[in-house]
Amino acid sequence: MCEGYAKAAFGEGWAVLSAGIEAHGKNPRAIAIMAEDGLDISAQESTVLTDEMMAQTDYFVTVCGHADEHCPVLPPGKTRIHWPLPDPAKATGSEEEIMAQFRAVRDDVKQRVQALAAELLD
């Protein structure tokens, strides 16, 4: 979700990469709720953060608690921003309740990405 909104908010002049400490498959619920907001993230792939990515990246945004706790040490001069978001993939309950949690995280991510873009593009 972050990658989709960041690509939309930052535009062509920025390279937006999404990677984590472990790769996960595509989540059909995330794809569906992003489509509800007009963004197609179905081609995005989950990847693992590499040393090369770290060297080429200026800003790192971590999401979810475990990402903050397990984020590798960044090279000097890099900026890390942490957003403590709940992981909607771990949501439980009825399908309606799970989708509501996905939408809540989506809306939070969208607001945060737009605020970050406004700050960095100023």
- The answer to whether position 122 is within a domain reads no
Mean pLDDT for the stretch of residues 68-85: 82
Q: How many domains does the chain have?
A: 1
Q: Select from 51, 86, 56, 45 the least CA-distant residue to 72.
A: 51
pLDDT digits (tens, 9 = 90+) for 22-61: 788 889 999 999 999 999 999 998 888 888 888 888 998 9
Which residues pair with residue 79 across a beta bridge? 59
**What is the residue-averaged pLDDT of the chain?**
90
Q: What is the number of other CB atoms lying within 10 angstroms of the CB of residue 96? A: 7
- Separation between Cα atoms, residue 48 and residue 63, nearest integer Å: 14
pLDDT at 66 over 70: no
- The answer to whether position 6 is within a domain reads yes
pLDDT at 94 over 90: yes
- Separation between Cα atoms, residue 16 and residue 113, nearest integer Å: 12
- Separation between Cα atoms, residue 56 and residue 78, nearest integer Å: 10
Range of the domain at 15: 2-117
**Per-residue model confidence (pLDDT) at position 68:** 56
- The answer to whether position 63 is within a domain reads yes
